[in-house]
Amino acid sequence: MTDFLFNVVFPLAAPFWALMILAPGWSWTRRIVGSPWIVAPPLVVYALLAVPHLDLLWSAVSQPTLDGLAGVLAVPAVAAAGWAHFIAFDLFVGRWMYLDSRERGFPALVMAPLLVLTILLAPLGALGYLLVRHLRPGRVDGGPADGPEGGAVGATDGGAADGPAGGGSASRRPGPRAPRDEPSGLG
């Protein structure tokens, strides 16, 4: 059972990565990846592997030592649970990077290598994205991005309030933008 769960966990996440990397501007990608539930399948695999070994895991994380962690990871089911943990959280971070980059209008050709790096070495991919985000803060005037709608997927007036099913029109002139920390339309 452990081998099966280890082998199935990445294929459960791969379709979501494929959408973000290969079809970032497709409206269905935004709808699918917009749901945080895409990380549920790897999390279920994690639970199936971890719950029977909670005693070992708890001792390793409640009072962590390098030797203790190395010892617990020598148990195949715990190592497989660690792998499922990596896959789930890498996908969660990649999902955030994708959604944030679309809102900011970052080009897909910039994001694709960062997302691939996040699949393989998530902390380095996330760090790379944070650097890109810092160096190129993104669209603030509602200008065009690389999506087929002329802006980030789901954004028609530069605001996030329209969402994928929003009623905005790409031909509308952008109105004043609400501050990023406050919801638009409230006041």
Which residues, other chains included, contact 186 with Cβ-Cβ below 8 Å and sequence gap of 6+? none
Where in the chain are the domains? 2-135
Which residues, other chains included, contact 36 with Cβ-Cβ below 8 Å and sequence gap of 6+? 92, 95
Local confidence pLDDT in tens for the 187 residues of the chain: 999 999 999 999 999 999 999 999 999 999 999 999 999 999 999 999 999 999 999 999 999 999 999 999 999 999 999 999 999 999 999 999 999 999 999 999 999 999 999 999 999 999 999 999 999 877 644 554 444 443 333 333 333 333 444 333 343 334 444 444 444 444 3
**What's the count of helices (H) and strands (E) in the chain, helices before strands?**
8, 0
- CA dist., res. 81 & res. 74, Å (int): 12
Residues in the chain: 187
